[in-house]
Chain A
């Protein structure tokens, strides 16, 4: 029996890889360039992938290393942002949740790269703090700190400390996320 080709698995991670690229770069053209480079590197170095380990983590690591190397080369902290998140509003349902989701996306785009990355890895992609630390080449505590600072900043920007605001936002968000809630 032949072993499965890891390249077949690689292809299944591409939608998540692109979402990660978009969330990191906040620019479609840059994200697609980063992704192209990552796919090429991963494909041509597939023998370096250890079967049984997390391929998504491996791909994300290649992409984020490309991103930070490129950022250092350009010697700039501020990226060209094309509002890749907030411009997707047209596909959202037209109710209260629309504005809440827009607020969230706009606030998220304002986070520093490292905090946005940590929050995406842990909060959205389901990686553990340890895994995220390994992927980013930093200690687990550093990732925890970045995630906490990112959450604190979002809390501040979205005024989530206000109990009433959180209740209202919660209802609206559930309507958007699950399609099961109602907005009145």
Chain B
């Protein structure tokens, strides 16, 4: 377990988290796949249709 008074472990934990944030940030910048944007378009269209019917 990482101890509060163990600076080396804290430094390693910080290094790991920093790398993870970079990896996660890289992945967030990936272009959204077509299947997701198409799904959103479809869901929005269905919602609009329901609103009109109401």
Contact = CB atoms under 8 A, between A and B. Distances in A.
A145 to B, nearest CB: 8
Q: Which one of B24, B27, B30, B43 has the greatest number of beta carbons of chain A within 10 Å?
A: B27
Given A18-B27, A18-B32, A166-B12, A101 B19 contact: yes
A32 B22 CA distance: 21
Q: Is the interface of B mostly helix, strand, loop or mixed?
A: helix
A173 B18 contact: yes
B16 A123 contact: yes
A22 B20 contact: no
A91 interface: yes
A154 B16 contact: yes
Contacts of A43: 43
Contacts of A108: 19-20, 23
A85 interface: yes
B1 A16 contact: no
B35 A22 contact: no
